[in-house]
Structure 1
Amino acid sequence: MSTSLPLSRRDIIEARLAEGRQVVATSLAAEFDVSEDAVRRDLRALAAEGKCRRVYGGALPLFTPSQPISARIGKASARKRILAQAAVTMIERGEFVFLDSSSTNLEMVELLPKSLDVTVATNSVEIASAIMKRGDIPLVVIGGAVNPVVGGCVDASAVAAIAALNIDRCFLGVCAISARTGISVYEHADAIFKRMLLERSASRIGLITSEKFHERAPHRIGGAANIDWLIVEDDLPDDDERAAIGAGFSLVKPRDVTSSS
């Protein structure tokens, strides 16, 4: 049998959860050469301390650690592009559009028709660079100190700049969404920035890949009353769809937008 003390084993499990890793009771029991009951006691203790969420067969971290935008760009790009295509069809000619820092919103840049005659504002380094490379869309860049996780500017100067704008349509970057807790992000400054962005925008839209319905993030932006539309994937699970609609969110799927355009 293992000579590891329960506290030592528990510390290792806690460290893995803090790194955002899921733990499985059977795997931990085999690794530490202890019974599954012993592991389950550890998990119950960690859950009681607010350090994990118990699930069948193991435990999940309370929050998934945020990744810098450089790590998110290119992931699930085909799925994000489908959402971006639906988003572009919702823009009206001549609008002042804000593209919040988001790897999904980045997919919109190539899809924007020049004929829409829009002006784009953004706090995102990547989005600003992509629009500059196009060279045919007027661009307003919201500056300040660049947050490497967000991939753009969300400090006090960026918030002040947003407060002076009248935005026709914003596309919000979202880290997590829940029927119970609403829309959330990982960074405190980002949440403050997004609240101001929503306040200054006439139409507010989020592009949501399905896994975000099962993410958790600590900083709440708002609820269903603070956003007009969520563009979700066509294969969003029925349970997630019902919960979101029950919470008051208005959902639109790419097939609905393209069929009506």
Structure 2
Amino acid sequence: MLTSQRKTAILDTLSRDGQVLAKALAEEFGVSEDTVRRDLREMAAEGLLQRVHGGALPASPATADFAHRQSIESVAKRAVARAAAEMIVPGQVVIVDGGTTAVQLARCLPRDLRATVVTHSPSIAVELVGHPSVEVVVIGGRLYKHSIVTVGAAAIEALSHIRADLFFMGVTGVHASAGLSTGDLEEAYMKRALAAHAAETVVLASADKINAASQYRIGEITMASTIVVERNTPAALTDPIAAAGVTIVRA
């Protein structure tokens, strides 16, 4: 079997099963595990998959910068944001992560909502200027320009006195076994810290993030109490997540 044929077969298996194991692929292709690992390294370098111990997972395609992602509007993304916004009860303290879906969430909040929003995203803060009854607490720190959020020790320290009811988390990867992940190490630390300061974490997940993984792990899938997905997300992708005890909300 040619290298190109092996790589096509690997992608087909990833699409079907959500993961591949190097040992099983070596047996299937009749080649050494070293050969399979080389294929996986090359495919990972091309952004086609995410390598993990013993094999690989589908790679998240959600890696473009904020400006590019914001230009890609979709009905499904707005539906996810709207469903998330409806979870907020007046009087609550909620943490809103950065990201384009989170910006849509802010836009979906009723103008007369009375609540406190804590965010490390300047974009979210600006969206809420026109909400007279929403108290906005902005977490400072080093600005990570790719996602337009603050990160680092100063941002994490600023969270020390905050206890929120809900945290709306943005991710680039949601996978039943690999958990929640993102494409930047400091962002992963920040998201983990934000989740630790909320009673419940709600993950906003467009279809391209389900059954995918990025380089930096935020935590187990059970870090999320709820994951909001697009209405037409296949049950085959969400059933393993639901089996772990996470509530799936279809928007």
Question: TM-score, structure 2 length as denominator?
Answer: 0.76
Q: After the TM superposition, which parts of structure 1 deviate over 4 Å for at least 4 consecutive aligned residues? A: 133-136
Deviations 1:175-231 (A, max 9, x none): 101011010011100111111111110121011111101432011111233111001
Residue number in structure 1 paired with 2:48: 60
- Show CA shifts across 1:84-121 (max 9, x none): 11111111111111110111010011221133301111
RMSD over aligned CA atoms reads 2.8
Question: 2:210 aligned with 1:222, yes or no?
Answer: no
Structure with the larger strand share: 2
Deviates more, 1:124-133 or 1:156-165: 124-133
Indicate conservation of the 8 Å contact 1:150/1:190, yes or no. Answer: no
Unmatched 5+ residue regions in structure 1?
A: 1-9, 14-22, 26-39, 255-261
Identity %: 27
Partner of 1:115, secondary structure, is: coil
How much does 1:137 deviate?
2.5
Q: Which residue matches 2:203?
A: 206
Q: How big is the shift at 1:238?
A: 2.0
Rg larger in structure: 1
1:1-261 matched pairs, under 5 angstroms: 45=35, 47-48=37-38, 50-52=40-42, 60-62=48-50, 63-64=59-60, 66-134=63-131, 136-254=133-251
Q: Is 2:66–2:148's contact at 8 Å kept on the other side of the alignment? A: yes
Contact 2:93–2:165, Cα closer than 8 Å, also in 1: yes
Cα distance in structure 2, aligned partners of 1:242 and 1:64: 19
- 8 Å contact kept, 2:113–2:131: no
Superimposed CA distance per residue, residues 133-183 of structure 1 (whole angstroms, 9 cap, x where no aligned partner): 555522111111110122110111111112221111110111101011010
**Which has the bigger relative contact order, CA under 8 A and spacing at least 6?**
2
Aligned to 1:17: none
Contiguous gaps of at least 5 residues in structure 2: 10-28, 51-58
- The count of aligned residue pairs is 215
